Chain A
Amino acid sequence: MPDLLIEIGCEEIPARMIDGAREELARRISDLLQRERLSAASQNGASSFSTPRRLAVLVQNIQSQQPDIQEQLVGPATKIAYKDGKPTAAAEAFARKAGIDVSRLEKVTNPKGEYIAATVTRKGRSASEIISESLPKELNALYWAKNMYWRAGKPERFVRPVRWIVGLLDGQVLPLEYAGVKADSKSRGHRILSAGEIRISKAADYDRDLRSRSVVANPSERLERIRKALDAAARTVPGTRWREDGELLNTVVNLTEFPGVVLGTFDRAFLSLPEEVLVTVMRDHQKYFAVEDSSGKLAPHFLAVLNTDGDRDGVIRHGNERVLRARFNDAQFFWNADQKIPLTQRVEMLRAVTFQKDLGSYWTKTERVRQLSATLAQELKQQGRQVSLPTTDEAARLAKTDLTTELVKEFTELQGVVGGLYARAQGHTQAVADAIYDHYRPESAVDTIPRSIEGALVSLSDKADSVCGMFALGLQPSGSKDPFALRRQANGIVRILAEHNLPLRTSQMCAASLALYKAAPELKDKLRELDKAPEALAAFFRERLDFYMREVRAIAYDVVNAVLSADSNNVPDALSRAEAVARIRPTPDFLAISTAFKRIKNILRQARESGKQWPQDFNSPALTEEAEQTLGSRVIKAAEQVESLRKEKRYGDALSQIAQLRPYVDTFFDKVMVMVEDEKVRANRLALLATMQRSFSTIADFSEIVTEKAAGC
């Protein structure tokens, strides 16, 4: 069976897009082959290759032809097709159309009656024809974060201009054309090391053929080569190793076709610059790996990954060293220049730095963040937490000032970090410096949170200010659109509250933040969604907390629902309630109670829908049956206990109290009919159930708990 090879030769594809595009192309080709019955469904997919200049897919043993299909065509009714047992003109015409002899017509009966039919064989089309016809559509549909036009008349868009296409099936060139490029058997070698064309004679030899022209087409193989080369280069300096960096590795794998590594050296004097700055320059700007000594301290070396086979004369090393020296000199220059204006004097300069075009400058943001963090700090203090108000305020005041520094203008990813480093260098306390340093954290799900409470408060206030401001403008995220990364910021807020165990209510935090926006007269006309913001924010934060509990803490979704239905505003509290619910959940009493609560919820809903009314509290003496009297008195006692346990945050104990009601609830539902004719009796019983629902849903809404029976439905 034949092998299929497709290679799309392209001008350099952005490194960040290559992996996704390679996988998508392989998937699209596999799907196409299966859809068109050209490969078995059981087939283990395709092998795929990629370099900056090519995406390739190899599928072995596909069908060269679609299998033929037998198809039954239904014609006119038998009574029209035959007259006196002889075929009529209508039958003749049908047979001709179906391409068979009249004698081979069949009869079929369906609910409408008897008809004539013809079984015909539909010839399978060739793989070559199908692939050549369908592939251009698949290529047009490939997702690119950013694509471009290049041909006059703008017929298609692709990530970069397509320059050649290899399309081979069973050693034959496919009649395939895309973007004005006709498929051929000729690929291209490495741009510099082996420029020019190379004929691929057999699809299965693709990998080997390209290797002979200095192209390693398999990205995992390039990764291995790079790792080994990094190891080898680092070994030339005794006692050092290269600093592992998965993201950077992935980038350099996708920037090279034939990777090599050189070790370079820089002047030891630069080690006086903070490590953060040095590593950022090396990693983010030059894509170099940092080298460290056995204690993990930065060594005056770097490793550059090249797209060539070596550096015999040392000119590449020399060039890279020169560039890094210039970069470090810049950083040094910026560092020194920045010290001339201390952070305290930079606060005023924030008036000229835009926070958001409608929300004004970072100066006004700073003022809001100071006030918000002070409010939050007071709140924590009242709750007995150790927190320094002056540290919080000083850190909030200076947090954004590094945006005016040359170093941050040059290395934006170091915002916050630079502020922290400068604060320390300029004699601020370590606590203030750390809080500034950390206040953008966590920047991702794997990033750490601010180390201190003060850092956490500045971070929370900064993020809440951004999120609330955007919501007030009506710029909340929708679907996959979240240009201001508000979800990430809100996730950060939730994580900080959870992991620092801060009982600050998100609704209050948002209300305080929105109040600060409301107090700014110049923003009055711009905050069009200010009134709707509290509700939208509540839903948004509930969603973020829900995400955190399920995805990060791996709490069962029904427990999360139950807990958040009771209250979703206090993050650590929601977590302790969830923990208590999860612990008691497997017990039979609890499951039974959950089922009972579902029943209560249904009864009350139906009663409400049919217009029944009941008082707020039930009247104990008016309960008539023994079962309801017992339950009534138990409920009153339990409600008191649950409330006091809840106040002490002894959620486990409170839940056991509720679970212990089970026998009384069961007996009640066994013996007592709620929806009786007598209006007074009925209303009193409904009031009893409503009281239970109200008093026992403050920790979690048990009706949300999926009991096994319900789960089975």
Chain B
Amino acid sequence: MLQQPYDVEVGAGTMAPETFLRVLGPKSYRTAYLQPSRRPADGRYGENPNRLYKHTQLQVILKPPPDDVQELYLRSLEAIGIDLRKHDIKFEEDNWESPTLGAWGIGWQVMLDGLEITQFTYFQQCGGIDLDPISAELTYGLERLAAFLQDVDSIYDIVWSRAADGSSVTYGDVRLAEELQLSVYNFEAADVQKAWQHLQLYESECKALLDGYAALKKKEAESPEESAIRRFPVLGAFDLCLKCSHLFNILDARGAISVTERVGVIARIRALAVGVAKAYLDQQQANAREAAA
């Protein structure tokens, strides 16, 4: 499945539903998609040649992972023009964990001539749910790969496209203003009060939906009505949860979250993510039952 990028702000390709939700449950799935990933605290006003507020990931999910997943991965590098015989490639231990998503995995950072180009993770848990089967998640850092292939020192010097007359448009031409302005927004301008309000609004709506799903389940136990389950907007609840996560990141970049609040807010978002994951899995099972019947 070649998918489009998800159009709600996420901090990583992992948070897009094509990963976060698809890795749940027993169904096999394979997908790849690009995912612009926003991390407000990583913004550097466009001044740092290697750091971005928004970078692009190529996210690949293989569920379950094939036995030759590493070989397939290496061939993907060859496919974009990297002659592995001429380079030094290493798989170095790097395990991944996201407390806000209740997710973790075991894996490596793949190093190409000393450059980390991919995060390779065997997902073990997601939304607090043990995964079976597990998924392999390959996250390619596209800016890094492009800078490597074009041998430039600054991401902003990457040639994005070249016209027939030889003139070129660089990454900086396309994105520098966005990096600068959103760094200013995230670090200086974002209205802290409003961001808190937005967070609360999204959270309460997400919670209301999850409560609604639970109520529906209860009702269903008394008088089965599967179609009501199938059309219940669990995916809508997930979008609201993603909104909360992004707002948390903005507040964090803004320095607006105190120590005591921090643990609590992370737990709140985690509760939403775990709730959505549970509801999603339940809904999938109900759908499967309905299809079987």
Contacts and interface: CB of A to CB of B under 8 A. Distances in A.
Q: Do A and B bind each other?
A: yes
B106 interface: yes
A323 B114 contact: yes
Interface stretch (A200-208, A307-315, A481-489, A504-512): A307-315
Nearest to B26: A152
A193 B124 CA distance: 32
Contacts of A146: 95, 106
Measured as residues with beta carbon below 8 angstroms from the partner, the interface class of chain A is: 35 or more
A313 B86 contact: yes
B92 A255 contact: yes
B134 A320 contact: no
A116 to B, nearest CB: 57
B92 A152 contact: no
Contact of A15 (B65, B74, B89, B93): B93
Contacts of A664: none
Contact of A354 (B49, B153, B262): B262
Contact of A149 (B74, B92, B132): B132
Interface in B167-224: none
Shortest Cβ-Cβ A-B pairs, 4 listed: A319-B113, A14-B93, A12-B91, A152-B133
Given A15-B93, A307-B88, A319-B87, 17 more contacts: A146-B95, A148-B134, A149-B134, A151-B133, A161-B122, A192-B89, A315-B87, A316-B86, A316-B87, A316-B88, A318-B113, A319-B88, A330-B50, A333-B47, A351-B258, A351-B259, A360-B260
Nearest to A149: B134
Nearest to B83: A315
A361 B86 contact: no
Nearest to B41: A409
A378 B75 CA distance: 67
Contacts of B265: none
Given A15-B92, A255-B90, A330-B50, A319 B258 contact: no
Interface string B227-259: 000000000000000000000000000010111
Contacts of A14: 93
22 contacts: A12-B93, A15-B92, A148-B106, A150-B65, A152-B132, A161-B122, A192-B89, A255-B90, A255-B92, A256-B90, A307-B89, A311-B88, A316-B86, A319-B114, A320-B114, A322-B151, A329-B50, A333-B47, A349-B255, A351-B258, A352-B258, A355-B259
A153 interface: yes
B85 interface: yes
B102 interface: no
Contact of B153 (A320, A325, A360): A325
A148 B113 contact: no
B29 interface: no
A326 B49 contact: yes
Contacts of B72: none
Nearest to A14: B93
B48 interface: yes
A315 B86 contact: yes
Contacts of B165: none
Given A315-B86, A326-B50, A153 B132 contact: yes
A518 interface: no
A634 interface: no
Given A148-B106, A352-B258, A307 B90 contact: yes
Given A307-B90, A323-B113, A191 B50 contact: no
A393 to B, nearest CB: 24
B34 interface: no
B20 interface: no
Given A319-B112, A319-B115, A326-B49, A152 B258 contact: no
Nearest to A288: B114
A14 B95 CA distance: 10
B255 A192 contact: no
A324 B113 CA distance: 11
Contacts of B108: 12
Interface of B: 44, 47-51, 64-65, 67, 70, 74, 84-93, 95, 106, 108, 112-115, 122, 124, 130, 132-134, 148, 151, 153, 255, 257-260, 262-263
Given A148-B124, A149-B132, A326 B153 contact: yes
Interface of A: 11-12, 14-16, 52, 146-154, 160-161, 163, 191-193, 255-256, 286, 288, 304, 306-308, 311-313, 315-316, 318-320, 322-326, 329-330, 333, 349, 351-355, 357, 360-361
Contacts of A149: 124, 132, 134
B30 to A, nearest CB: 15
Contacts of A306: 88
B132 A154 contact: yes
A351 B284 CA distance: 45
A313 B151 CA distance: 15
Given A306-B88, A360-B260, A316 B113 contact: yes
A11 B90 CA distance: 11
Contacts of A161: 65, 67, 122
A353 B85 CA distance: 46
A330 B262 CA distance: 28
Contacts of B88: 304, 306-308, 311, 316, 319
B46 to A, nearest CB: 12
B37 to A, nearest CB: 19
A106 B91 CA distance: 67
A104 B2 CA distance: 79
B85 A354 contact: no
A353 B260 CA distance: 10
A355 B95 CA distance: 24
A234 B223 CA distance: 79
Nearest to B50: A326
Contacts of B64: 152
B89 A150 contact: no
B257 A352 contact: yes
Given A153-B132, A319-B148, A361-B259, A324 B89 contact: no
Contacts of A192: 74, 84-85, 89
Nearest to A251: B92
A426 B65 CA distance: 53
B81 to A, nearest CB: 13
A288 B262 CA distance: 37
A150 B122 contact: yes
A329 B132 contact: no
Nearest to B124: A148
Contacts of A304: 88, 114
B96 to A, nearest CB: 12
Nearest to A357: B263
Contacts of A15: 92-93
Contact of B48 (A308, A313, A315, A333): A333
A353 B114 contact: no
A16 B49 contact: no
Contacts of B262: 354
A155 to B, nearest CB: 11
Nearest to A148: B106
B74 A191 contact: yes
A163 B90 contact: no
Nearest to A354: B259
B64 to A, nearest CB: 6
A50 to B, nearest CB: 15
B99 to A, nearest CB: 12
B106 A160 contact: yes
Contact of B115 (A312, A323, A351, A353): A323
A355 B263 CA distance: 12
A318 B51 CA distance: 21
Contacts of B106: 146-148, 160
B112 A360 contact: no
A585 B89 CA distance: 62
Nearest to A307: B90
Contacts of B90: 12, 255-256, 307
Contacts of A154: 130, 132
A529 B148 CA distance: 55
A324 B111 CA distance: 13
Nearest to B125: A149
A278 to B, nearest CB: 15
